[in-house]
Amino acid sequence: MTAAVVAGLLAGYGIAIPVGAVGAYLVAVTARTGWRTGAGAALGVATADGVYALLAVAGGSALVPLLTPVMDPLRWASAVVLVGLAVRAAHLALASYRTGGLASRDDGGELTPGRAYFTFLGITVLNPMTVVYFAALVLATGPSAPATPLDRTAFVLAALAASASWQLLLALGGSLLGRTLAGARGRLTTALVSSSLIVVLAVRLVAGG
């Protein structure tokens, strides 16, 4: 079981650490709304990673051929959603700045921790490359792959824990950023820069497919 735990941790960090558009959006949301909402968003991303890890160990080799035809549509859908969220965030930031609404942080208004959880869960689920990644790792390990129900459970829980710890670290960074840039102008700059970065990363998500 120890080998399955280690494999799960490595797999979880492997998929979580490369910061893409979702990670950038997580940092931006936390900077704007606070730690509790950011933590909810982080757990939403980790839950999606855990679900895909579960699907991979349950039958990744059978799922990959089924997912292949919908890879591009889902990747485009993910990019469109992320760009839409980035544009909306930039628009709201500009509007709030003009009315003085960015002078203080929004720690629990529009985006609640529960809503953030399901929003980020949905965004992350749109990326089927995650299950392909986990499936490839499971298949590549051959005979040492988690075979028993206990090993499979340990692998999935370890991958979930690894992803959650990294996403929560990103949320913490976003929270610290929000506290540092507490002024209206600093918060506006953060919102616009993060929105631009999210758009660029979303475009790369499509172009890289």
Each residue's pLDDT tens digit, 135-188: 666 655 544 456 677 888 888 899 999 999 999 999 998 888 777 765 667 667
pLDDT score, position 92: 76
**Residue 40 pLDDT more than 60?**
yes
Residue by residue, DSSP assigns 29-77 as HHHHH-HHHHHHHHHHHHHHHHHHHHHHHHHHHHHHHHHGGGHHHHHHH
Task: Classify residue 191: in a domain, yes or no.
Answer: no
User: Domain range spanning residue 142?
Assistant: 2-73+104-181
Number of domains in the chain: 1
pLDDT at residue number 206: 73
pLDDT(194) > 80: no
- Asked whether residue 89 is assigned to any structural domain, the reply reads no
Q: How far apart are CA 44 and CA 6, in angstroms?
A: 23
Residue 7: inside a domain? yes
- The pLDDT, as a whole number, for residue 104 is 47
In a domain, residue 80? The reply is no
Q: Would you tell me the crossing angle of helices 21-33 and 113-125 to the nearest 10 degrees?
A: 170
